Amino acid sequence: MRISSHNTYQQSLSKKLTSWLKRHSRPLNPQSLEAAFLLLRLDLDRFSPDLELLYSASARGLPRFDPCCLLRSLLLMTLLGFTSIDKFAKELRRCPRLAQIAGFPPHKTPSVGAFYAFLDRLEDGPFKPKCPHPIRTSQLRKGRHRRNLSAEKLEKEARRKQILKDCDSLTHHLKQQLLQSASLARPLDLQSRLEDLLMKVAVKVSAERGLLGDLSRVIVSGDGSSLVSGAYRVGKPTCNCRKEGIYNCKCDRFYTDPSADWGGTLTESATTSATLSINTSYHLQATTFRFTSLSGLHLRLISRFH
Ligand SMILES: [Zn+2]
């Protein structure tokens, strides 16, 4: 059940902003003001039915936080440049103005655990009663993953050579794959949910307001930018080679990221996630519209899972 609609949020925050802006002795931080103006216009009610699906229909257990406010908080976190949910949750609890920009009453904000539980729900998708058989997607991501990056690199290289033998180029192979899957339904995963969020809350609204101009001339494109993974790049050894004085063994290691790969720029080497990375832009003639805040959240959420 929704606790407050976007209209209620808009009216309440507009009043607060008017009073905060009059207080010259304690002015609102410019970054928070900019974030508040952006969130004021972002109608998350459009995504509310999708968020409601993530929860059980029966109202059991503790009263929950409004999922739209949780989502808005994550957007606020991104807009303010926080990279740690732990630090942001503490700041949200400490600062009443920040709490109200997110849509919560002062000092009654979600705990760190509530944010992580919300991220798990977003990843797991529509609510299903607990059952010992299916493993939730969020469970698969957690913990350490036994991997051997050197062996994976060799396998990848062999696969690349095979593709080049069968096709003219990697781009041609990718085109073939995309055309083959064009008629298939999108998987009901986190990526799709975040794409729906971007589409319903930002792209469609912008189109309805005429901000995208002639829709028949809009070109949607995406790139495969790599994201820096939070995983420790060296991993934890599974063997006892170091005790025997062997420091460069090729044994398996445990990594927190199930899919990260070595990569980076020429000057900087980093562990990057290669599987889930997308940066969608909407081009209209020479102008590029970037839905920065939502795309930012999109990227941050994806990188959070690695
Ligand atoms: Zn070893």
Q: How many domains does the chain have?
A: 2
Task: Kindly state whether residues 117 and 161 are assigned to the same domain.
Answer: no
Residue 253 Cα to ligand 1 midpoint, Å, equals 9
Task: Kindly state whether residues 120 and 156 are assigned to the same domain.
Answer: no
Task: Kindly state whether residues 47 and 121 are assigned to the same domain.
Answer: yes
> pLDDT tens digits, residue range 113-157?
999 999 889 888 888 877 766 777 777 777 788 888 888 888 988
Q: pLDDT band for position 292 (50/70/90)?
A: very low
Task: Kindly state whether residues 127 and 159 are assigned to the same domain.
Answer: no
**Domain boundaries, position 56:** 6-139
| In a domain? residue 298 | no
- Whole-angstrom distance, CA of residue 147 vs CA of residue 258: 8
Predicted confidence (pLDDT) at residue 209 exceeds the cutoff of 60: yes
The sign of the CA dihedral 176, 179, 185, 190 is positive
Residue 243 Cα to ligand 1 midpoint, Å, equals 10
Mean pLDDT lowest among 33-42, 68-77, 88-97, 286-295: 286-295
| In a domain? residue 42 | yes
pLDDT attached to residue 175: 84
Residue 275 Cα to ligand 1 midpoint, Å, equals 27
**Helix axes of 112-124 and 190-197: crossing angle, nearest 10 degrees:** 100
| In a domain? residue 224 | no
Task: Kindly state whether residues 91 and 157 are assigned to the same domain.
Answer: no
- Whole-angstrom distance, CA of residue 240 vs CA of residue 119: 36
Task: Kindly state whether residues 161 and 126 are assigned to the same domain.
Answer: no
| In a domain? residue 33 | yes
> pLDDT tens digits, residue range 127-137?
887 776 677 77
User: What average pLDDT does the chain have?
Assistant: 79
Task: Kindly state whether residues 81 and 178 are assigned to the same domain.
Answer: no
